Amino acid sequence: MQNWTPRDLAQQLNTAAHAVQLLDVREPWEYQIVHLENSQLVPLSQLTNYGLHELSKDLPIVVICHHGIRSAHACYLLERLGFQAINLTGGIDRWAREIDPSIPIY
């Protein structure tokens, strides 16, 4: 599993946002509080039952959660299914602290 820091992801989004998919595996109530633009919500508990058909194996998937634990689990699952998955270390919480302090921290 590959890991990216929020700075790595910010650089990717600034230079070639179209070259990655953003998958948020938090719960809907968390996603409503804050999420990255153009991210797709598929809670970890529903990942194998929903949403896999909407993901492309042609582009890497950056997986996002609150602190990086659920996203790491999702990355392992996605890799076993043939996807290229990248874990956002520190999750949306670290993103808020390092990249965009205007977004809510919960």
Task: Render pLDDT for 35-76 as a digit per residue (tens, 0 to 9).
Answer: 999 999 999 999 988 768 889 999 999 999 999 999 999 999
- From the list 100, 103, 106, 56, the residue with the least C-alpha distance to 78 is 56
Question: What is the structure's pLDDT at 103?
Answer: 95
> What tens digit of pLDDT does each residue of 6-37 get?
999 999 999 999 999 999 999 999 999 999 99
Has 65 been annotated as catalytic?
A: yes
Please state whether beta strands 39-41 and 2-4 pair in parallel, antiparallel, or not at all (unpaired): unpaired
- At 102, is the pLDDT very low, low, confident or very high (cuts 50, 70, 90)? very high
- What are the extents of the domains in the chain? 2-98
- Is the separation of the CB atoms in 60 and 34 below 8 Å? no
Choose the catalytic residue: 64, 65, 72, 74: 65
pTM, to two decimals: 0.95
Question: What is the structure's pLDDT at 14?
Answer: 97
Question: What is the structure's pLDDT at 50?
Answer: 74
**Residue 32 burial class via C-beta count within 10 angstroms: exposed 0-12, middle 13-18, buried 19 and up:** exposed
Domain 2-98: homologous superfamily in CATH: Rhodanese-like domain (3.40.250.10)
